[in-house]
Amino acid sequence: MMSVRAAAAIEPVGNVTAALGEGPYWVPEDDCLLWVDIEGGRLHRTYFPSAETVTDSLSAVSAAFPAVGGGILTVGGAALTLLFPAERGSQWSTRIIAEVPARDGLRFNDAGVDPAGRVWAGSMHIPEAEPVGELYRLDPGGRLTTVLKSVTVSNGLGWSPDGTQMYYADSPLGRVDVFDYDPATGEASARRTFADLSAAEGVPDGLTVDLDGCVWVAMWGGSALRRLTPSGEQDAVLPVPASQPTSCAFGGPDLADLFITTANVGLSESERAEQPLAGRLLHVRPGPIGLPSTTAKAAIPA
């Protein structure tokens, strides 16, 4: 198992500041990182090595993935929407792939793509107080199948290297859970606690999985990423120079670059002055590398 470089330097990428940065996702064929600003309704595409960022304003977006066949699948509001084409500088045409009935106080939040390209998306209670959200799987016919109910803030989704375990965080619970997962059918079962993080500073937000099967969890309010071994034990803590890291994703040509999204929403003026990198996209080479399956394209079922 590769060790985390304790002294690895975390640096900002480009000059974009997001109110609520989220959803980093590496697109290897474009040397591009997709990420979003949920509060601003913005989709960012940051290209490397220049770190040039192209920004599009959308009505609502909380996650985005490259789609099989071209375009970008976005999750936001109450819908999954395909934006096409996805070339730099072009105008988007849009097609709604699936949607749920719009409800006051609810919106889609984090989403994920399993190694086979199957799309999962979760909703959240915007005041973060009531367990009225759900976790959905996108099935054939544009049907969003409810897999979990009674969710408050649906967050991090990830899969083990062999695809037989699915990791998931409902943030206010203060833990990461794990399901048995059937990669052939997308069935998730036997939910149980993977790691109890309730005693740690902050709450679990977005997550990713590395080549060793370790789970990296962004701790909102905790100024850190925590790396958990496949057995759920804490392996390392990576301090982040922003109190609200929201998610993380491996990328780069060797999948050795770790990109971290952050937020400055809710911070006071003095807190923002103390955290000049809050809301920025951050980068570090921590030692471990990512899984090729974490860059899978989203499949749009017929």
DSSP state of 272: H
What are residue 70's DSSP bridge partners? none
The upper half-sphere exposure of residue 163, i.e. CA atoms within 13 Å in the direction of its Cβ, equals: 16
Instruction: Give me the amino acid identity at 219.
Output: M
Catalytic option among 205, 210, 235, 257: 205
Question: Smallest Cα–Cα separation from 205: which of 17, 66, 38, 79?
Answer: 38
Write the CB contacts of 272 (distance below 8 Å, at least 6 apart in sequence): 264, 278
3-state SS class at 270: helix
Please give the backbone phi and psi of residue 30, each rounded to the nearest 5 degrees, phi first. -110, 0
Instruction: Give me the amino acid identity at 96.
Output: I
Examine the residue annotation and report whether 110 is marked as an active-site residue of this protein: no
Note the Cα 68 to chain centre separation in Å. 19
Please give the backbone phi and psi of residue 173, each rounded to the nearest 5 degrees, phi first. -75, -20
Is residue 22 within 8 A of residue 44, CB to CB? The reply is no
Question: Smallest Cα–Cα separation from 165: which of 177, 180, 184, 182?
Answer: 180
DSSP secondary structure, 231-265, as one string: TS-EEEEEE-SSS-EEEEEEESTTS-EEEEEEB-T
Helices (H), the chain: 269-274
Query: Which residues are known catalytic residues?
Result: 205
